[in-house]
Structure 1
Amino acid sequence: MTFPVIGFGDGGIIPRGRAAIEASGSGFKAIWNAWELRGMVVLSLSIQVFLIFIGNRRKHSPGAFTTFVTWVTYLMADPVAVYAVGIITTKLTKLTELSADFNVELSAFWAPFLLLHLGGPDTITAYALEDNELWLRHFLSLLTQAGVTFYILLMAWNGSSLSIMTIGMMIAGIVKYSERVWVLWSSSSEQFRNSIPNHASILSKVAEEQKLRVAEGFKVVPHEVIEVREAAMEYNLEDSDLFEEKGNTNEMYRSCLVELLAARGLVTIFQRLFADLLLSFQDRDTSLAILDGKDFRVAFKIIEIELGLMFDVLYTKAKVIDTWWGTARRVGVMLFSAVILVLFLLVEVRSNSYSPVDLGVTFLLLGVAIFLEVYALAFLMFSDKVACWLIKSKRFKALKRIHRIKPLQKRQRWSRKMSQLCLLSFCLREKHLFCDRLLKLAGVDETIEKHFYKTNKKVTDNLKKVIVEYIKGEKSSWNTRGSKILGKFKEAEKLRWSIELEFDESILIWHIATELCLNPRNPDSLIPSGQEKRIQDNIGSYIETGTLLSRYLMYLFVFHPYMLPTGIGRLKFADTYTEAMRFFDELKSIKGKEKRGKEKPGFTCCGLNTKQLCSCVITKLKSVWKQYGKTDEYKVRDACNELRDRLNTKLNMTIVKEDKSKFVLFHGCLLASQLEKFNDQEMKWEVIGMVWVELLAYAAAKCKANYHCQQLRRGGEFLTHVWLLMAHYGLTDHFQIPHAPSITELIVT
């Protein structure tokens, strides 16, 4: 028989186990009380350092990990800082004059730094556009946290030098947080729209001046002259004398300067697009004058710079730091923090006995505060806007020094990639997850697994060239969905039914047909040999264009359907996906039965000699490798052949259309069979490639500006670049303001 071990405690005899638990509990509580505030302050500091590095990186890094980590840290930043301020308030409330503690007073010095953290880093003010609309909430938070910090200052005030330093850091924190609130307010949709000047503002000013002069008794004669496109003359620098020592200037460097200055001029005009405002035909003529004669690479580079500038305006503190006052504030806060660091080191450390850990946290706060301002100045120095200002002011020596540190042509302003998704590869579902059954029970298996079938491809120069040439040759491309290229060839007229369907159906049908044409029964027939090299190059170019755009639009269709014209694409994709899954599952079942029927009963390797046994094992391994060791390319090719064999495209369309789930899959096979009947392979792939170009242009023009802005924080979408390029050539429906007579001067007599 055993007896419980007992011991003596403060309240009498208690079980020894309970005493141990209470002792360990009190120890944990003491550790928590000692390190809670320190941990929260260091965590808040770490979040600020992390955000300042990754905030601008997401502009050109669209990875899921980068997006997720940025989202988590952005959401954690404010609550962690507010929680730490609450801990400081609680400690000071419990503090009395008889129990004064230097370490608690030092922790009160940390409160202004947390207010500084609430101001956020300069590289990220808003994670999404919706955060800009919450500026009023942040304004109330500014008032609240500034009041709490002032309360902490009063509670800890003792007239010492540390209290005076706290006042200085509190002012810096309020300024920093006020900057964030102002940026959020100025980037909100309504204020951003109101900040863009009206087209009629210049003309109205001249009219007001005319009325004023007439009222004063002067005789005013309006002198109407021909419009002068000042912007085009100012930013089209090919033949200007802008560059000093022109002969010694590197051609690539000079091209970068031209692109930067052209983008600066165009973004001031086309920022109206991002606010859903109308443009005038004069704006179109200005952009055409700037882009006239430019290479397709230069055109896309200008668009890239413009979108990079818009990202800075919408998601960073660019509006604040790109001014003289903004730069002065950063230099002031940096110098002020450095002075406080020196004073704290010379005065407070020597005269008071602080905890070494608290001293370390304080020095870390001061050091990181200085580092954040230095990084903000470096971020400003290497920004495109400063480069444009240096070019305009002809400060080429300073620009060359910056160029040596961070070359202009190597700056990443977007991901330069386009995501790809193959519907057939997704339907085969060969990439099983370890928790596949659990995901199915939760009903999120498709949502999670589709990310494993998404790939990224670099936007090639060939694709850029095809799109620029198409846009230059169009007058109203946004109204076409493939009809122009189908009307070019008599044989392609019979395919017109495929583009007269709803837009989402056309994408699904043409995607399936393109995959079938990419995977013919004879792979060598994809690009026929024995033809002229020019023809082979043309076929290869159209194949690349059709493949990239087909899988890119399918990616948008699945991941970002809101960027495509309004429809019920989600439901139709789900129906098509379900039918394709059912088809391939039935096919696997049939093949499994056929394979089991062909196998000899009682087949075994027992009783065989060593040589026969090895041969049997090798045969089995070859069979397994043939079945499961195929690459995705071969699996998709086999699936395409099975679609050709088992879907009868000679059936009546109306019969199949009654079953909506089979409608798209069947018509994709029907379209592929019609395309494969083309005798001219170059014509067939030209039709496929250019149909996808027209579908892309139509989708880009119909997408709302707000959705284009949202994608800038995810590395940018190629669709957005095409949209802005089309706007520069006047191919969107934003150009509705006609030319107005321009009065450039008044003759007063």
Structure 2
Amino acid sequence: MWTYIKALIIVAVLALFLLHVLGSLRRRSSNKALHAIVLGVYTLSYTLVSYTIGLMQRSDMYVREFSVWAVCLLMLLGGTDNLMAYGLNDVDNWKSFHVRHLIQGAFVVFIVAVYGTASRVQGPLWAILAVNALQSCVRIKSMKMASKSHLLSKSVKPIVDHMQMQREGRLHTNPDTMEGYRYVVAGEHLWKNNAGQPSNQSKDGNVDGITTVDQVWQCKGSLLSSKTGLRLRDVCLSMALSKMLNRRFAGYELAEAELEETRDFVFRGLLAFGDEPCERAFRVIGVELGFVYDLYYTRYPYLYHKARYFGLCLPVAMVTLCSWLTYQLFNKFKGDVSSPDTTVFLMAVVTFLEAFQLYLHMASGWFKVALIRSYIAGQSWCLPRMIIGLLLRLKTLQPWEGKLGQYSLLQHYDGTRRASTCLYFMTLCLVDKAKKGRKRGKLVKLSRQVKKAIVDSLLESKGDLTNGTRSLQKAGVYGRLSWACSPGDGMVTHTILVWHVATTICKQLEPATLGNDDKQRSQVASDLSGYCAYLVAFAPDLLPDHSFDAESMLDKCIKEACKLDLPRGAKKMKSKCEELMKISGTKEDSGAETLVRMGGRLARELTEEIQEPALRWKVLADFWAEMMLYVAPCEDARARAHLEALARGGEFITHLWALLTHAGVLKRCPAAGQDAV
């Protein structure tokens, strides 16, 4: 039996490896296989630990390695700092995790007490158990801090009160120097209210122990005043913005939303400052959403909530103790040819994984913010400036892969996914059944041209979002094409699908003589069109319309396309588009024109009204940039859909939603889509 138990321990260490490595990758990758593996390991970890510990307790053989193996199992159960919970439901059910871990921990303590008789390994084993108990407590506290009840009171409420007081005592602001922008970077848990006012507030308005964005920008230290220092300051800015964004998940009102300085922060600051403003803006938002993800799915927030460097203590202690135990095991089994070296190897792997987790800690934004806070406060005397500079330069993975999902209605409406359907039945409905006509296209990189087009559209709109009408009016074609922006049912999905079909046709029939700039505009329009269609097909919760209505409308379009009897096959896309152009523009006998035919009619009118291809692609690129901004805002009640999307790798529309939130743009233009009726 001990051989079988050893095999299970090897599986457990492999699972721990997957949680350490893939757990840190799932935030930036939308790969379905990666997420399936993480979910499988996360779900089966309790079963694996419970079953193996049960075998150990029932075993009638005395195996010297049982105590070490049991500790390895408990380390798997405690999880990793970069994966506290898989989904939001796990966070809200933190009490059940607490109970299960207490039971399993008690069994492991019993095994170590009974089997861990060798004095050489007793010390490190019990020390590792003590640190693991602390890590488990941190995990439970982290889950509790991110749960709905706690989020509404202790985690977000201090930020709400602070921003309300900032609104009442408005200061002179300068978005270039961040003067007057007292967004809280860290220390809000120290906030003490006294009759509605902070009891430890100084004459200049600052509060002892609380670091704000303007304090970071006012620091004249060489680390923060260099070109690299701008990125370090932006990390602190991202931290502050993440705390402000969390108010939307808790349902609190944004007190500063209607203030002029709020819009200035984005329009005259974030989108105007730096060598490449659009790149900087999306970099800041990307890091911000990484901090938001950490609050709900990792242990980092709680580790740095209590003390600046407490988060570093536990991984350092665990690496030290695991190295000590590995060394003791190596000396114990050295020269004993009859004893297997599997245990030593497994502990060496566990030590490496803990060292890897320590590096992730030191390269994380949380540790960098802690270092910057100490540097600003002049409390970094314990670490030389050169060491602080080296630590701040540690690299980690980008918080988001920066890719857009794609879907083409005309290319995939007649496709079926038999493999997914078979998997649906084989797993007894655990895997979602693939719907007809829905096949994901290849991901495309979020290009600089796409980001610039959206930023230019936002700056031009000044926060008044419309559903594409502004770009048509600017091009002088609004009178002819306004019908495609004002659906009778008032659904944004209607407009997206019609323009998506038209853009696909224009892309397939575009001339080969386009210049480089025109090809870039063509690619911008095509990428955004495919991404909006992707959201309709695979992430309708992130769009303004109800997800059921959006899915129903897409199903209707797929059926309509199948009835048109267009040429089949992806290789004949050009012939499909040519045929659709020919048959579109006439009303059906029922008097209602289908959405697919409307898309074909729009494509024909675009080519007729705007005969110059370069101008046509500029109009389409401007339209889709405007449409992306129009669909981004959402109500607070639907904001949790963005949280769930972060756990699946993140979506570009979430970045736009966060950017608009910080600009105080929470709603669309009331007259959008109605002025053409």
TM category, shorter: 0.7 to 0.9
The residue identity in structure 1 corresponding to 2:450 is L
Select which of 544, 553, 562 maps to 2:541. Answer: 562
Match of 1:533 in 2: none
Match of 2:511 in 1: 523
User: SS of the counterpart of 1:677?
Assistant: helix
Asked whether the equivalents of residues 81 and 115 of structure 1 are also in contact (C-alpha less than 8 Å), the reply is: yes
Match of 1:260 in 2: 235
Select which of 90, 94, 104 maps to 1:131. Answer: 90
Q: Distance in 2 between matches of 1:206 and 1:35?
A: 61
Are residues 211 and 656 of structure 1, via their aligned partners in 2, closer, same or farther at CA, if it must alter by over 3 Å?
closer
Asked whether the equivalents of residues 81 and 118 of structure 1 are also in contact (C-alpha less than 8 Å), the reply is: yes
Are residues 273 and 680 of structure 1, via their aligned partners in 2, closer, same or farther at CA, if it must alter by over 3 Å?
farther
Deviation (angstroms), 1:706? 1.1
Q: Report Cα offsets for 1:109-150 as digits up to 9, x if no partner.
A: 432332222101222122222221221110011221122223
Q: Distance in 1 between matches of 2:409 and 2:54?
A: 52
Select which of 615, 627, 647 maps to 1:713. Answer: 647
Are residues 224 and 254 of structure 1, via their aligned partners in 2, closer, same or farther at CA, if it must alter by over 3 Å?
closer
Q: Distance in 2 between matches of 1:491 and 1:41?
A: 68
Match of 1:413 in 2: 399
Deviates more, 1:492-501 or 1:51-60: 492-501
Asked whether the equivalents of residues 123 and 317 of structure 1 are also in contact (C-alpha less than 8 Å), the reply is: yes
Q: Distance in 2 between matches of 1:225 and 1:546?
A: 48
Match of 1:398 in 2: 387
Deviation (angstroms), 1:498? 2.1
Deviation (angstroms), 1:710? 1.6
User: SS of the counterpart of 1:56?
Assistant: helix
Are residues 397 and 276 of structure 1, via their aligned partners in 2, closer, same or farther at CA, if it must alter by over 3 Å?
farther
Q: How many residues align?
A: 607
User: SS of the counterpart of 1:649?
Assistant: coil
Q: Report Cα offsets for 1:593-618 as digits up to 9, x if no partner.
A: xxxxxxxxxxxxxxxxxxxxxxxxxx
Tell me the TM-score normalized by structure 2.
0.79
Asked whether the equivalents of residues 59 and 713 of structure 1 are also in contact (C-alpha less than 8 Å), the reply is: yes
Q: Distance in 1 between matches of 2:425 and 2:102?
A: 47
Asked whether the equivalents of residues 425 and 636 of structure 1 are also in contact (C-alpha less than 8 Å), the reply is: yes
Are residues 643 and 144 of structure 1, via their aligned partners in 2, closer, same or farther at CA, if it must alter by over 3 Å?
same
User: SS of the counterpart of 1:331?
Assistant: helix
Are residues 205 and 135 of structure 1, via their aligned partners in 2, closer, same or farther at CA, if it must alter by over 3 Å?
closer
User: Does residue 1:503 correspond to 2:492, yes or no?
Assistant: yes
Are residues 161 and 70 of structure 1, via their aligned partners in 2, closer, same or farther at CA, if it must alter by over 3 Å?
same
Select which of 256, 267, 284 maps to 2:262. Answer: 284
Q: Distance in 1 between matches of 2:49 and 2:424?
A: 39
User: SS of the counterpart of 2:609?
Assistant: coil
The residue identity in structure 2 corresponding to 1:333 is M
Asked whether the equivalents of residues 406 and 442 of structure 2 are also in contact (C-alpha less than 8 Å), the reply is: yes
Q: Distance in 2 between matches of 1:164 and 1:449?
A: 60
User: Does residue 1:310 correspond to 2:254, yes or no?
Assistant: no
Match of 2:183 in 1: none
Are residues 244 and 714 of structure 1, via their aligned partners in 2, closer, same or farther at CA, if it must alter by over 3 Å?
closer
Match of 1:24 in 2: none
Asked whether the equivalents of residues 514 and 550 of structure 1 are also in contact (C-alpha less than 8 Å), the reply is: yes
Are residues 324 and 436 of structure 1, via their aligned partners in 2, closer, same or farther at CA, if it must alter by over 3 Å?
closer
User: Does residue 1:356 correspond to 2:339, yes or no?
Assistant: yes
Select which of 487, 490, 494 maps to 2:480. Answer: 494
Which one scores higher on RCO, CA 8 angstroms, separation ≥ 6?
1
The residue identity in structure 2 corresponding to 1:464 is K
Asked whether the equivalents of residues 125 and 325 of structure 2 are also in contact (C-alpha less than 8 Å), the reply is: no
User: SS of the counterpart of 2:404?
Assistant: strand
Deviates more, 1:437-446 or 1:667-676: 437-446
Select which of 310, 314, 322 maps to 1:325. Answer: 310
Select which of 573, 576, 590 maps to 1:655. Answer: 590
Asked whether the equivalents of residues 15 and 41 of structure 2 are also in contact (C-alpha less than 8 Å), the reply is: yes
Q: Distance in 2 between matches of 1:695 and 1:262?
A: 28
Match of 2:160 in 1: 199
User: SS of the counterpart of 2:221?
Assistant: coil
Q: Distance in 2 between matches of 1:648 and 1:327?
A: 64
Match of 2:663 in 1: 729
Deviation (angstroms), 1:190? 3.0
Select which of 574, 581, 592 maps to 1:644. Answer: 581
Asked whether the equivalents of residues 262 and 290 of structure 1 are also in contact (C-alpha less than 8 Å), the reply is: no
User: Does residue 1:147 correspond to 2:106, yes or no?
Assistant: yes
Deviation (angstroms), 1:367? 2.5
User: SS of the counterpart of 2:222?
Assistant: coil
Are residues 499 and 245 of structure 1, via their aligned partners in 2, closer, same or farther at CA, if it must alter by over 3 Å?
closer
Unaligned stretches of 5+ in structure 1? 1-32, 96-100, 214-221, 528-535, 589-627, 735-749
Select which of 673, 677, 681 maps to 2:604. Answer: 673
The residue identity in structure 2 corresponding to 1:106 is E
Q: Report Cα offsets for 1:709-734 as digits up to 9, x if no partner.
A: 22222322111111111112211149
Are residues 413 and 386 of structure 1, via their aligned partners in 2, closer, same or farther at CA, if it must alter by over 3 Å?
same
The residue identity in structure 1 corresponding to 2:133 is I
Asked whether the equivalents of residues 581 and 603 of structure 2 are also in contact (C-alpha less than 8 Å), the reply is: no
Match of 1:575 in 2: 556
Asked whether the equivalents of residues 311 and 712 of structure 1 are also in contact (C-alpha less than 8 Å), the reply is: yes
User: Does residue 1:81 correspond to 2:49, yes or no?
Assistant: yes
Select which of 337, 353, 356 maps to 2:322. Answer: 337
Tell me the TM-score normalized by structure 1.
0.72
Q: Distance in 2 between matches of 1:205 and 1:172?
A: 32
Match of 1:298 in 2: 280
User: SS of the counterpart of 1:280?
Assistant: coil
- Higher-Rg member (1/2): 1
Q: Report Cα offsets for 1:148-195 as digits up to 9, x if no partner.
A: 223434554769565665543432332232222222222223323331
Are residues 673 and 439 of structure 1, via their aligned partners in 2, closer, same or farther at CA, if it must alter by over 3 Å?
farther
Asked whether the equivalents of residues 116 and 177 of structure 1 are also in contact (C-alpha less than 8 Å), the reply is: no
Asked whether the equivalents of residues 273 and 705 of structure 1 are also in contact (C-alpha less than 8 Å), the reply is: yes
Match of 2:364 in 1: 383
Q: Distance in 2 between matches of 1:84 and 1:563?
A: 42
Q: Report Cα offsets for 1:478-526 as digits up to 9, x if no partner.
A: 4x21232334354322322222222111111111111122233x7347x
Asked whether the equivalents of residues 211 and 373 of structure 2 are also in contact (C-alpha less than 8 Å), the reply is: no
Q: Distance in 2 between matches of 1:697 and 1:377?
A: 39
Q: Distance in 2 between matches of 1:118 and 1:440?
A: 30
The residue identity in structure 2 corresponding to 1:730 is G
User: Does residue 1:701 correspond to 2:646, yes or no?
Assistant: no
User: SS of the counterpart of 2:195?
Assistant: helix
Are residues 205 and 584 of structure 1, via their aligned partners in 2, closer, same or farther at CA, if it must alter by over 3 Å?
same
Q: Distance in 1 between matches of 2:14 and 2:319?
A: 19
Q: Distance in 1 between matches of 2:80 and 2:424?
A: 41
User: Does residue 1:454 correspond to 2:422, yes or no?
Assistant: no
User: SS of the counterpart of 2:136?
Assistant: helix
